């Protein structure tokens, strides 16, 4: 069984210490193979906020794949925004804003959907779309294929249409055709699972959105939440993965299961593979 923890929108600078501690406890309890951190790591991209986020990631003590969000670019520091918008991000999490992780059962591809000149709006370029497609084309049988970015590709409510990433139609079509299973996002502080639009969904690809993990900036009463993705390719139902949403429950001071989805992955010829004794892990930190 492969487990992946998907979290987003921590907004360090607005974090709640009790929720942070509860999330660390959840990670230590479930011991995921990988933590996927989908951007808006900080509230205002300040060095102290990135330092706090770095300490949090170090406490998890598991491989973590990180991509930036729009809040990870300075807003009020115009000089930094123009001359070195990712400087504090780079110092905390390294220069690679589009890391890749690969193991026997998992391929996770990071995409940087932020654009300093676009303020909060996200975009995916043709070059980025082609890069991800090449990586998906090279995936091994038995790998769950995940693409992680900050901005959503699919909206659950009409008001979020304005928050969707530019270039999304081409990205969804190409990535689905290339064999993506899950397209993970954040940004809007609203957790949900939805299939891609039927007109472009070539392979049974799903959009999975995370809420805000530890910030007090919750949306409409939706509590802090994270997703746990379970995948067992060695079993007979290898074309199914499970996404569990875990919400922070104040009375329990912990994250508890809140919703569960079994997602059919309608690719052909799923089969287990022999373990790779070396394995590959690229770009996580």
Task: Enumerate residues 6+ apart whose C-beta is below 8 A from 259.
Answer: 244, 245
User: pTM higher than 0.75, yes or no?
Assistant: yes
Q: What is the pLDDT of residue 108?
A: 99
CA atoms within 13 A on the CB side of 35: 24
Closest listed residue to residue 7, CA positions, set 246, 216, 265: 246
Q: Residue 245 has which token pair?
A: 């949403």
pLDDT < 50: residue spans in the chain: 236, 268-285
Specify which residues 146 forms β-bridges with: 108, 182
Residue 195 · residue 201 · CB < 8 Å: yes
Closest listed residue to residue 120, CA positions, set 153, 160, 154, 151: 151
CA atoms within 13 A on the CB side of 80: 16
Q: What is the pLDDT of residue 171?
A: 98
Give the CATH fold of the 2-264 domain: Purple Acid Phosphatase; chain A, domain 2 (3.60.21)
Q: What is the pLDDT of residue 279?
A: 30
Q: What is the pLDDT of residue 81?
A: 80
Q: What is the pLDDT of residue 211?
A: 98
Q: What is the pLDDT of residue 267?
A: 58
Nearest-5° Cα angle at 75, 71 to 79: 130
Q: Residue 140 has which token pair?
A: 């091994």
Strand ranges in 32-188 using DSSP code E only, listed in sequence order: 34-37, 64-66, 100-102, 106-110, 144-148, 182-185
Element (H, E) at 246: strand 240-249
Q: What is the pLDDT of residue 125?
A: 98
In this structure, what DSSP letter does residue 224 have? P
Task: Enumerate residues 6+ apart whose C-beta is below 8 A from 268.
Answer: none
Q: What is the pLDDT of residue 240?
A: 87
How far is the CA of 26 from the CAs of 29, 89, 143, 166, 257, in angstroms? 5, 25, 25, 34, 11
Q: Residue 33 has which token pair?
A: 């193979």
45: left (phi over 0), alpha (psi -120 to 50) or beta: left
Q: What is the pLDDT of residue 80?
A: 85
CA torsion, ordered 72, 220, 37, 47, to nearest 10 deg: 30
SS3 category, 241: strand
Strands 254-264 and 64-66: unpaired
Q: What is the pLDDT of residue 83?
A: 92
């Amino acid at each position: 069984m492969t487990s992946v923890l998907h979290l987003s929108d921590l907004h360090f600078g607005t974090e709640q210490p009790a929720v942070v501690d509860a999330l660390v406890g959840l990670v230590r309890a479930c011991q995921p193979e990988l933590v996927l951190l989908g951007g808006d790591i900080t509230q205002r991209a300040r060095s102290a906020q990135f330092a706090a986020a770095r300490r949090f990631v170090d406490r998890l003590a598991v491989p973590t794949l990180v991509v930036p969000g729009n809040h990870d670019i300075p807003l009020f520091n115009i000089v930094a925004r123009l001359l070195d918008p990712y400087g504090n991000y780079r110092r905390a999490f390294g220069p690679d804003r589009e890391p890749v992780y690969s193991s026997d059962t998992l391929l996770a591809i990071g995409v940087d959907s932020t654009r300093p000149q676009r303020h909060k709006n996200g975009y995916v370029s043709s070059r980025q779309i082609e890069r991800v497609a090449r990586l998906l084309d090279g995936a091994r049988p038995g790998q769950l294929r995940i693409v992680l970015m900050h901005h959503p590709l699919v909206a659950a409510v009409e008001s979020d249409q304005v928050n969707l990433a530019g270039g999304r139609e081409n990205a969804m079509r190409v990535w689905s055709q290339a064999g993506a299973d899950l397209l993970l996002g954040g940004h809007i502080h609203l957790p949900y699972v939805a299939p891609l639009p039927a007109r472009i969904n070539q392979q049974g690809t799903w959009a999975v959105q995370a809420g805000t993990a530890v910030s007090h900036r919750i949306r409409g009463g939706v509590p802090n939440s994270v997703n746990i993705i379970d995948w067992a390719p060695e079993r007979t139902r290898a074309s199914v993965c499970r996404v569990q949403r875990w919400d922070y429950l104040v009375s329990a001071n912990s994250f508890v299961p809140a919703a569960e989805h079994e997602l059919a992955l309608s690719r052909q010829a799923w089969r287990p593979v022999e373990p790779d004794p070396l394995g590959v892990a690229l770009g996580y930190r």
